[in-house]
């Protein structure tokens, strides 16, 4: 058992790494404030993925109920469920005191070199320009763990560290948003020192686990927006035949189609390019045949091979592409099992200086 975290409250200041800023949602496409719920939702997702990777069972859709004689999953023990509050509170302060509402951008990049076969028009990709000032995240302990310890769980600090370092915060991260930089690198070292020192060997639990994640980065020459639009176009195009439309929509996202009764779906990978031309992204593709992903699992290898190939096209990241994925031949550092991969992920710097 690792030692408890000494602090009962943690505070970190981050700033958006590029012009796309951070988007935390809002009614009718207008963001009125930086909402902690959006960041908390992401933190819950990453914590669940970390717990599953370490072999802990996590329920789907927080359906545990905390009452006498019933056991609850390890994620609900931290994030709460019916009858139980969260272990920690998370609040976000935006540095800009008078928050100006931000409306979802109508600006788009058009790929004039491509024509859709359906209507002959060029595909357009919208980019959001959201909140661009620093934010301060505070995590404070609210109640003791069910085991009695009064300390912020290391699963939370680890998930937050990985999310900031390798992932994104908030929404619209398929449109470039959510890449954050540390305002003070000492704070990054502090949070890293509070992470789980080791990962559990053994099997992952059912559901999306960190072992299913992939992270990538590389240097892009030329215009960032044009490259991001082109990459999204090429990935979608690479996932046509022999894959089903359902798989393509699930992986690349879809606006839905009311006439065909297809629901809109989010994207399984993120993509952004910072002001220096460095591309960063992450995503997940389940390895185990668990519902509702069962039907996609068999195509995992081919799909991710194709995604990696698009990113390493010579006019995209080329040889500069770095790909990280647990227990995979695609990983730039070679195949490694979960505990070794986790240790390396935690210790290796990720962002380009």
Binding site for Zn ion (CB under 5 A): 59, 64, 73, 76
Q: How far is CA 309 from the centre of its chain?
A: 21
In the complex, least distance from residue 60 CB atom to Zn ion, rounded to whole angstroms? 8
Based on its alpha-carbon atoms, the radius of gyration of the chain, rounded to whole angstroms, reads 20
Which one, 41 or 277, has the nearer CB to Zn ion?
41
Q: Tell me phi and psi for residue 38, to 5 degrees.
A: -65, -40
d(CA 274, CA 216): 14
Cα 212 to the center of its chain, rounded Å: 12
Instruction: Name which of 66 and 243 has its Cβ closer to Zn ion.
Output: 66
**CA atoms of 75 and 56, how far apart (whole Å):** 9
| Closest separation in Å from C-beta 72 to Zn ion | 5
- How far apart CA 21 and CA 35 sit, in angstroms, is 14
- The minimum distance between CB 280 and Zn ion, in angstroms, equals 31
Closer residue to Zn ion in complex, CB, 76/208: 76
**Residue closer to Zn ion, measured from CB, 164 or 204:** 204
Backbone angles phi, psi at 285, to 5 degrees: -145, 110
Smallest distance, Zn ion to C-beta of residue 52, A: 12
E-only strand ranges, 44-201: 88-94, 102-103, 108-110, 124-126, 135-141, 180-182
Q: Where are the alpha helices (DSSP H) in the chain?
A: 36-53, 74-79, 154-166, 185-193, 224-238, 245-252, 294-297, 300-311, 338-347
Q: Among residues 59 and 151, whose Cβ is nearest to Zn ion?
A: 59
Q: Tell me how far, at minimum, the Cβ of 153 lies from Zn ion, in Å.
A: 15
| Residue 239 C-beta: closest distance to Zn ion, Å | 33
CA 291-293-294 angle, to 5 degrees, is: 75
Neighbouring residues of 144: CB distance < 8 A, sequence distance ≥ 6: 150
Nearer to Zn ion, 80 or 283 (CB): 80
Between 59 and 238, whose beta carbon lies closer to Zn ion? 59
Report in angstroms how near the CB of residue 87 gets to Zn ion at its nearest.
13
């Amino acid at each position: 058992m690792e030692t408890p975290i000494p602090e009962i409250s943690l505070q970190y200041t981050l700033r958006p790494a590029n012009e796309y800023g951070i988007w935390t949602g809002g009614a009718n496409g207008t963001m009125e404030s930086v909402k902690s719920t959006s960041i908390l939702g992401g933190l819950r997702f990453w914590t669940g993925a970390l717990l599953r990777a370490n072999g802990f069972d996590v329920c789907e859709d927080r359906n545990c109920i905390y009452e006498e004689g019933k056991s609850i999953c390890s994620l609900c023990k931290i994030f709460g469920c019916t009858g139980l509050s969260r272990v920690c509170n998370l609040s976000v302060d935006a540095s800009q005191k008078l928050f100006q509402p931000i409306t979802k951008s109508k600006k788009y990049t058009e790929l004039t070199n491509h024509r859709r076969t359906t209507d002959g028009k060029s595909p357009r990709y919208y980019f959001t320009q959201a909140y661009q000032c620093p934010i301060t995240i505070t995590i404070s302990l609210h109640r003791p763990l069910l085991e009695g310890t009064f300390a912020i769980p290391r699963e939370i600090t680890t998930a937050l560290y990985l999310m900031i370092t390798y992932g994104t915060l908030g929404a619209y991260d398929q449109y470039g948003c959510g890449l954050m930089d540390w305002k003070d690198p000492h704070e990054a070292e502090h949070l890293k020192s509070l992470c789980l020192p080791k990962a559990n060997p053994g099997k992952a639990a059912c559901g999306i686990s960190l072992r299913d994640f992939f992270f990538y980065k590389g240097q892009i020459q030329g215009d960032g927006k044009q490259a991001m639009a082109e990459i999204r176009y090429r990935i979608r195009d690479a996932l046509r035949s022999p894959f089903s439309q359902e798989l393509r929509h699930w992986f690349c996202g879809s606006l839905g189609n009311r006439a065909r009764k297809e629901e809109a779906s989010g994207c399984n990978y993120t993509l952004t390019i910072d002001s220096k031309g460095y591309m960063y992204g992450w995503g997940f593709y389940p390895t185990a045949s668990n519902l509702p992903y069962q039907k996609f699992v068999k195509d995992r290898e081919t799909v991710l091979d194709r995604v990696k190939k698009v990113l390493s096209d010579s006019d995209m990241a080329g040889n500069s592409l770095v790909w990280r994925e647990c227990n995979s031949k695609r990983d730039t550092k070679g195949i490694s099992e979960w505990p070794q991969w986790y240790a390396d992920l935690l210790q290796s710097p990720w962002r380009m200086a």
